[in-house]
Amino acid sequence: MAAGLYPLDPNTPVGQLRVNVGDTGFTLEDGYANFSDVELEALLAQSSGNIARATGNAYLRLSAIYAAMGRSVKTDDLGLDTKGRGGDLLEVAKEWFARAAEADLAEAQGYFDIVPLASHRNTPFFL
């Protein structure tokens, strides 16, 4: 059971994160399927409020869970293999981390410092 507020508010960071990870289904008996609001708030705090990075961290967590639960079952002519599910989620996490890095780079390119230069009073300045 993953408790959380319902209906989710897509205008809040927790709501946006919940939409990004696809954890939007809610039942009164079980709450949300994967994450509670408290867990999502912790992921946001660990990611300094960066929603894309928090989404990547959420997918990393899901990847670890599914990798640990992965099984391969085969009977007669029926086979079920869930071992690769963790790896697939890991690839999704990498995509979200790449988005976060792109946003960081875009933010850094719009930022500059004005730094005073050392004074050279006795040095003539020529063009």
Largest CA distance in the chain: 91
Looking at residue 51, its pLDDT comes to: 95
Q: What is the mean pLDDT of residues 52-66?
A: 94
Range name among 15-29, 39-53, 67-81 with the lowest pLDDT average:
67-81
Indicate whether 39 pLDDT > 60: yes
Calpha distance 113→30 (Å, rounded)? 51
Calpha distance 33→104 (Å, rounded)? 31
Calpha distance 123→107 (Å, rounded)? 38
Indicate whether 78 pLDDT > 90: no
Indicate whether 105 pLDDT > 60: yes
Q: What is the mean pLDDT of residues 55-71?
A: 89
Per-domain boundaries in the chain: 13-98
Higher-confidence position of 106 and 120: 106
Contact status, residue 38 vs residue 61, Cβ threshold 8 Å = no
Buried b or exposed e, range 68-97, using 16+ CB within 10 angstroms: eeeeeeeeeeeeeeeeebbeebbebbeebb
Residues 1-28: pLDDT tens digits?
567 778 889 999 999 999 999 999 888 8
Q: What is the mean pLDDT of residues 42-56?
A: 95
Indicate whether 123 pLDDT > 60: no
Q: Tokens representing 115?
A: 């730094």
Looking at residue 54, its pLDDT comes to: 97
Contact status, residue 80 vs residue 72, Cβ threshold 8 Å = yes
Contact status, residue 93 vs residue 83, Cβ threshold 8 Å = no
